[in-house]
Amino acid sequence: MDPHLLRTFTAVVRLASFSAAARELGYTQSAVSQHIAALEADLGVELLGRRPVAPTEAGSRLLEHAGPLLLRIGAARAEVVRAAHSPAARLVLGASPLAFGDRTARALAGLRAAAPRTDVTVRLLERAGVVAGVACGDLDLGLVDGAAAPSDPLRLPDAGPLHTAGVGEEPLAVVLPDGHPLADREGLRLTELIDALWLDAPDAAIPLDELRAACGNGFRTGPRYDGTDVRTLLTLARAGHGLALLPASVAGAGAVPLAAPRLVHRTEALHRGDPGRAARVLTDLLGVSR
């Protein structure tokens, strides 16, 4: 399967439109139609219904594989290019919002003191975006977070041979609305809150799918917050729009510690191959476990 055809296919499915995919990819609409026809001829199956534009069952199966395939191709290209060029005096650090905190900021200050000529860029991204950025070479070093059992590694998307290492773990806490009847508890079990209304904030709090993975179905979805600013999330939670699970250091004094299940907020660093001197210095300053 030609990766150019796969990119066209995924764009058409995502946008549900041949013309919109053509505009995004810089092709004519007829070229997009030819790409889809060539891919269908190669596989011998119909991949897209035309009215409306939507994947067939075979197209849905292909879509499940297309993203990881394209990511691995991008990662391979980036690694080949990296191998042919000497690393520059730079660090592009990508981090999910809850993975970047005071500790990382202090480590970056230490890096500037140790290597003042290093060009540093920090990008806050969703968790999957950090993994993809490291895999494709857009990021020299990534920091990602999530809920996990103590000392257990995070479950990350398959993006090829990434090197991961633990940065730190801390307790989790439930952010409740002001005046909530459970606010005076010493600890809360997630199973007690399975029928509660939760904010859907996948990039600013522990995602709901991680809570469901730990406790099963439930955790009714309240308003969705697509941002990364934790202060906005806290404001929404305390105003009664839904609960949120956050690292205790972020949740604040009014939050109630999570008592069960036995989960912690875990942060990991990830990179491909040799990330460069600046990234190595930063991970040393962060005290990354080897």
pLDDT of 83 reads: 64
pLDDT of 78 reads: 77
> What does DSSP assign to residue 154?
P
pTM of the model: 0.71
> What does DSSP assign to residue 243?
B
d(CA 14, CA 21): 8
DSSP element (H, E) containing 235: helix 230-238
Place of tokens 């990434």: 162
pLDDT of 82 reads: 65
- The C-alpha angle 45, 47, 53, rounded to 5 degrees, equals 150
DSSP element (H, E) containing 71: helix 57-84
Residues in Cβ contact with 118 at an 8 Å cutoff, skipping those fewer than 6 apart: 89, 90, 91, 111, 112, 278
pLDDT of 75 reads: 82
Total Cβ atoms within 10 A of residue 268: 23
**What are the mean pLDDT values of the chain's consecutive 10-residue runs (290 residues total)?**
90 94 94 94 92 92 90 82 63 96 95 90 94 93 96 88 94 96 95 95 94 91 93 96 97 94 96 90 86
d(CA 92, CA 245): 29
Quote the longest CA-to-CA distance of the chain: 64
pLDDT of 73 reads: 87
Total Cβ atoms within 10 A of residue 154: 18
d(CA 18, CA 31): 10
Q: Is 30 exposed, middle or buried (0-12, 13-18, 19+ CB in 10 A)?
A: exposed
pLDDT of 224 reads: 96
Helix, strand or coil, per DSSP, at residue 85? coil
pLDDT of 84 reads: 66
DSSP element (H, E) containing 105: helix 102-114
Phi, psi of 127 (to 5 degrees): -55, -50
Angle between helices 57-84 and 127-135 (to 10 degrees): 50
pLDDT of 5 reads: 93
- Which residues are 169's β-sheet partners? 266
d(CA 1, CA 38): 10
Q: Is 35 exposed, middle or buried (0-12, 13-18, 19+ CB in 10 A)?
A: buried
d(CA 36, CA 160): 27
Q: Is 113 exposed, middle or buried (0-12, 13-18, 19+ CB in 10 A)?
A: exposed
